[in-house]
Amino acid sequence: MKSKEMFGNALWVSPNGNCDTPYIRGEFSLSGGVRKAEITICGLGFFELSFNGRRVGDDLFVPVTSDYHFYEEQLCYKKHGEELSHRIYCLKYDVTEYLRSENCIGVLLAPGWYKNNQRASYGEVKLCFALRVTLKNGETVEILSGDWLKWTKSPIVWYGFYNGEAQDYNKIRLDGWDTVGFTGGEWADVQTVPAPETDYYIQDCPADKVIRYITPKFVRETENGFVYDCGENISGTPVLRAKNNFSEKITLKCGERLNGDGTLDDKTTHWQNSEFITDGTERTYRLRMMWYGFRYFEVSKNAEPVNCAVIHSNTPVTSGFSCDVPLLNWLYETFIRTQLNNMHSGIPSDCPTLEKRGYTGDGQLLCECGMMMLDSKKFYRKWIEDIFDCQDKKSGHVQYAAPYFRSGGGPGGWGCAIIEVPYTYYQIFGDGEPLKKSIPKTLKYFDYLDAHSEDDLVVSDQEGEWCLGDWCAPEKTLIPEPFVNTYFYIKSIDRVLEACEVFGEDKLKESLKAKRDKKVSAIIRRYYNEKTGDFAENIQAANAFALDLGLGDERTTNNLVSHYEKIKAYDTGIFGTDILTRILFEKGYSQLAFDLLTSDSKYSFNTWMKSGCTTLPENWNFERSQDHPMFGAVTRYLFTYILGIRCIEAGYGKVLIKPCFVDGINNAKGYITTEHGKLSVGYQRSGKYLLIETEIPKGISARISIGGDEKFLSQGKSKIIVN
């Protein structure tokens, strides 16, 4: 859909001046009473809508971000000559209850992702809307954006998407600006601007909202202010109140960790600083059009916190897990918190502070967790389209972040998200449309990978860009990049072959199998040691990568197992940690997988827990972000192996319940919410006594496997006792 189809004759408008955060308003009359009113609206980058002094809804940071439209300064065009796809999302609101005979529409705009200081700007902030009203007498009226609207500067006098806001309520006194008859301020005519040339869609992805509030606790007084602790790392904003009834400046600084003396650790504030000029009236102060990632904050001594608003995409938690191992409970709860803190404006991000980007590497690694544990179907459906949009139509290259944002990554663990995320979406939700759509796109990506291969190994990415294999190993990533990238190539071939089975694409199978054979032969030729059975010297779980492709022999497995039985710790990066854990479970080494998950080594989840982490750090050694979900991919195995919930048919039409019993866990329980309803499993062990309780919703055919014996489970609640 184009702009004309979405908005009819409405015009796009923008402030006629240098202002990134304007108020835009306009008054209009309706006669005869309102029967029904609906507005279609888009404000770029973010907007808030009000009528007659009332905020419409509680959505934040809308529309969800996307690769909005062509912008020639983007580096993927300028440097590499790529051609991406583009889209803009618009919102529809029923506003019947907000309207009367005399009305004022008000819109606050802010740059958001559309124009920010770390990304090439798409252009100036802009607005378009079409208000369609049916009066009680049956007459229809359209109120369309155009040059009748006025604008002025809002109290947000400075805006930095990664840094903060400066708000001035003393110099800019505009209370009531969105009500009929308001005469304050200096208002100017808007200018009409060309409609962005792109495709337009109605937003179906859940918006950000204030999910809950936290009351922070006082930590200490510093020279500049007072430090407070939320008790957990969150994304959102402190809500402040001035102590005095005269104009002054309140300063706010947020961070993720404290120094030993209780002051903010500057390394984890990530330049998150805001200020508020008060006007002496009773009001609260908070970020309006952006979010911070933080646990601790320092506020100047002339203010105090009311609370802290936790803000992220409205994707409720639809799972639960608990057992008698505190670390695994911590892992589940901490992953959930970290993932939610990184779901904003339709993007599963890497961190809510430093980058906020939808990395395709992190995203494909975590998508099963996000889909399985959260009400996130619409969220991931939107992000799949972002991945599709960020593929170069000419070369097939897939960007490292979706929507496109120049970032670092690699051709395998990042670009192969173009098949992995739709494939996982199909497995979890049973919806094959995105997977079917991904097949030709993935084949195009295979062409790109072939063009960056030597001797059938993927050895490079775009000239001058990164070419990572694994990432963030404890000290140095040693596993060879071509090995890892070719692993992902082969894994993606397997995904396409499965998709061909689903959709009857038989004609593709022969060529895909031949391509797979060539890639496998290349890995064996370069990395397999016939004398030892190892791949790439078994460095950082290389054998696990090979075993996941069906390569190697008994020695390959034995060498992998003996290495990790010896060191009893992860020495792996984000992909290796996940693959190693899964392969150990799959191969029957559940105890070793459990031992690694609960290891007390220097680089471990245990070290993170004992240090007081409430979200997962980016690095095993705590460097950079403290709110990075990527190592949390192993959380899915609490459900698929510890509880044993295995999806046998896409959409959980068929499941196998096969718990992995290990020394150290005597009771565990949990649930996920499938398309059919809540599926739960729990067990208790005492000596030779075993009690398993399940609840299977209607629509799921379930079997249970214990000690090699399988039997069908009835729908509803069941108890199985084994002596």
State yes or no: pLDDT of 470 exceeds 70. yes
Mean pLDDT of 298-321: 98
Query: 123: how many CB neighbours lie within 10 A of its CB?
Result: 15
Rg (Cα) of the chain, in Å, rounded? Answer: 27
Q: DSSP string covering 221-260, please?
A: E-SSEEEEEEEEEEEEEEEEEESSSS--EEEEEEES-B-T
Which CATH architecture group holds 347-642?
Answer: Alpha/alpha barrel (1.50)
pLDDT confidence bin for 702, thresholds 50/70/90: very high
Please report which helix (H) or strand (E) contains residue 296, including its range.
strand 292-300
Every domain of the chain with CATH number 2.60.120.260 lies at: 3-155+171-204, 209-313
Please count the other Cβ atoms lying within 10 Å of the Cβ belonging to residue 530: 9
Number of neighbouring beta carbons within 10 Å of residue 602: 12
Q: What whole-number percentage of the chain has pLDDT above 90?
A: 95
Residue 365 zone, left/alpha/beta (φ > 0; ψ -120 to 50; rest) = alpha
Q: Please report which confidence band the pLDDT of residue 104 belongs to, taking 50, 70 and 90 as the band edges.
A: very high
For 181: left if phi > 0, alpha if psi spans -120 to 50, otherwise beta; the answer is: left
SS (H, E, C) 65-122: CCCCCCCCCCHHHHCCCCCCCCEEEEEEEECHHHCCCEEEEEEEEECCCCCECCECCC
Quick count: other Cβ atoms within 10 Å of Cβ 148?
Answer: 14
CATH number corresponding to 649-722: 2.60.420.10
Which position has the token pair 């060539």?
518
Mean pLDDT of the region 466-485: 96
Is residue 77's pLDDT more than 90?
no
pLDDT of residue 120: 62
Fold of the domain spanning 3-155+171-204: Jelly Rolls (2.60.120)
Which strand (E) or helix (H) includes residue 694?
strand 689-696
Percent above pLDDT 70 for the chain:
99
pTM of the model: 0.97
CA 212 to chain centre: 19
For CATH 2.60.420.10, list the domain ranges present in the chain: 649-722
For the stretch 353-388, pLDDT in tens is 999 999 999 999 999 999 999 999 999 999 999 999
At residue 480, the pLDDT reads: 98
**601-638 pLDDT tens trace:** 999 999 999 999 999 999 999 999 999 999 999 999 99
pLDDT of residue 673: 98
Q: Tokens for 634?
A: 């192993």
pLDDT per position as a tens digit, 117-161: 566 689 999 999 999 999 999 999 999 999 999 999 999 999 999
pLDDT in tens, 637-696: 999 999 999 999 999 999 999 999 999 999 999 999 999 999 999 999 998 899 999 999
What's the topology of domain 209-313?
A: Jelly Rolls (2.60.120)
pLDDT at position 127, please?
Answer: 98
Mutual orientation of helices 481-503 and 509-527 as an angle, nearest 10°?
A: 160
Query: Positive or negative, the Cα torsion across 9, 12, 15, 21?
Result: positive
In contact, 198 and 86? CB cutoff 8 Å: yes
Task: Give the residue-averaged pLDDT of 415-428.
Answer: 98
Instruction: Please give the structure tokens belonging to residue 166.
Output: 């400066």
Spatial separation of the C-alpha atoms in residues 396 and 447, rounded to whole Å? 7
* Residue located via tokens 């950082």: 540
Q: Which helix (H) or strand (E) holds 329?
A: helix 326-341
**For 176-198, what is the mean pLDDT?**
96
Cis preceding-peptide flag for 697 (omega within 30 of 0): no
Which token pair is 585?
Answer: 């479970």
Mean pLDDT of the chain: 96
User: What are the beta bridge partners of residue 46?
Assistant: 110
